Copies of this chain bind each other. A is one copy, B any other.
Amino acid sequence: MPAPTPAPSALPTGPPAAAGARRRAGRPTAAILDQDGITTAALELISSKGYDGLTMAALARSLGVAPSALYNHVASKDDVLLLVEDHLAAMVDVTAFGVEPWDAAVRRWAWSYRDVFSEHTPLIPVIAVLPVANAPKTLAMYEAVTAGFRDAGFPEEKIISAIVALEAFVFGAAYDVTAPEDIFDAGSLAEQVPNFTAAVDRLALENHPRPTDVAFSLGLEALITGFGALRG
């Protein structure tokens, strides 16, 4: 006697995210999955369980399909991460370019860029190697920033280098946001590094709400000032 099959759903097509309803093998009348749905499900999973919880199995489960079904829509897990990255790139604030002065626009862009990706640092290694051709929203962000630099009188041959440098700083700073508060506590080795320990203590006395924000501001303002001098 075969194991009793769970009661088949009365509805031929359930809501996209519904799990539990059994489905036989074979092509469904309408596709259940698409890249948008996969992206949304991945973002929800990341937000609820973190990047450790983002596995192909968990992603499939949240979409109510078998893991292998995902491979009809993405080539790999890295492909999923690329979809997520491009979605996030669209959330970075580039609206100030062409509206506010150049330095204010860069400030807004860089802070929002850092804030968005500080919650998604596992994507940073992916972005670093990511050909922009595969990420249209990321590309649109670059276009807006490039136009902003050009219209501000930036010499064209230096624009990409300046953006790359700012981006490097933003990505590194995004990691810093995730660092534990006591990362600079030397512990039992403190007496061997007196200058460092004194400087750490001195900074703590200032007790800003977030030391990581102080460092980011310090570096960003230096970059803005330095790059601002390049404009014609």
Contacts and interface: CB of A to CB of B under 8 A. Distances in A.
A90 interface: no
B222 A185 contact: no
A149 B202 CA distance: 14
Contact of A121 (B125, B139, B226): B125
Contacts of A128: 121, 175-176, 178-179
A169 B166 CA distance: 8
Interface stretch (A35-43, A78-86, A206-214): A206-214
B185 A219 contact: no
Contacts of A223: 219, 222-223, 226
Interface stretch (A15-23, A24-32, A60-68, A186-194): A186-194
A187 B176 CA distance: 33
Contacts of A182: 131
A7 to B, nearest CB: 44
- Give the one of A149, A179, A187, A222 with max B CB within 10 A: A222
Contact of A169 (B133, B156, B169): B169
Interface string A58-76: 0000000000000000000
Given A161-B218, A171-B171, A223-B226, A183 B129 contact: yes
Contacts of A164: 176, 211-212, 215
The prevalent SS among residues of A at the interface is helix
A42 to B, nearest CB: 19
Nearest to A200: B160
Contact of A184 (B132, B205, B218): B132
Given A121-B128, A157-B206, A172-B173, 12 more contacts: A125-B175, A131-B182, A131-B183, A133-B186, A149-B199, A150-B199, A159-B202, A160-B215, A161-B218, A164-B211, A165-B216, A226-B226
Counting from the closest, the 5 A-B pairs by CB-CB distance are A222-B226, A168-B172, A165-B219, A133-B187, A128-B175
